[in-house]
Homo-oligomer: A and B are copies of this chain.
Amino acid sequence: MRESRDVFHLAIPVYDLARTEHFYVRQLGCKLARIYDDRITLDFFGDQLVCHKTEAPVGGPPMAEELDLYPRHFGVTFRQAADFEALHYLCVERDLPFFRPLGIRFEGMVEVHRTFVLRDPSDNLLEFKHYADPRMMY
């Protein structure tokens, strides 16, 4: 388990603060915390996500095939299947951009888990997971 009163924080690059707020707050259901000219901060499932305004890459957004889940992505692993399923349902209902649909990884192994990946407006990849065995969450 983790200290519930501490907070993990992650800083990521985003191309447009308004589109970022739209994706994370209006669509994904996170909460907007603080607003500055060059960044916004979010309560992302109880942790802090700091979105720094960055220049978008020249030449427009990459094609899906050009993006790689590895080595960089982030997200939340839910302890309760119901929380994982509620989020997946929200993502489908609100038509959020999926990078990878719902699937299973490490099938046949003790660390088997369900997972799906979203793509935010700045091509950051967000993975959400639920493990069959909670001890495998690390």
A138 B8 Cβ-Cβ under 8 A = no
Q: How far is the CA of A87 from the CA of B132 in the complex (A)?
A: 11
Number of interface residues of A (CB under 8 A): 62
Interface pair B45/A6, CB less than 8 Å apart? yes
Partner among B4, B6, B31, B54 whose Cβ is within 8 Å of the Cβ of A77: B6
Q: Which of A6, A32, A76 counts the most chain B CB atoms within 10 A?
A: A6
Closest chain B residue to A52, Cβ basis: B71
- Stoichiometry, copies per complex: 8
Interface string of A72-83 (1 = CB under 8 A from B): 111111111001
Residue of B nearest to A70 (CB): B52
CB contacts (< 8 Å) of A42 on chain B: these are: 138
Main secondary structure on A side of the interface with B: mixed
Query: Once bound together, how far apart are the Cα atoms of A113 and B98, in whole Å?
Result: 26
Q: Is the CB of A2 within 8 A of B45?
A: yes
Does A3 lie within 8 Å of B46, measured CB to CB? yes
Contact of A110 among B3, B12, B46, B93 (CB under 8 A): B93
* CB pair A110 B90 closer than 8 Å: yes
A104 at the interface (CB under 8 A from B): no
Bound-state CA distance A89–B108 (Å) is 12
Which residues in chain A, 47-62, are within 8 Å of chain B measured between CB atoms? Answer: 47-48, 52, 54
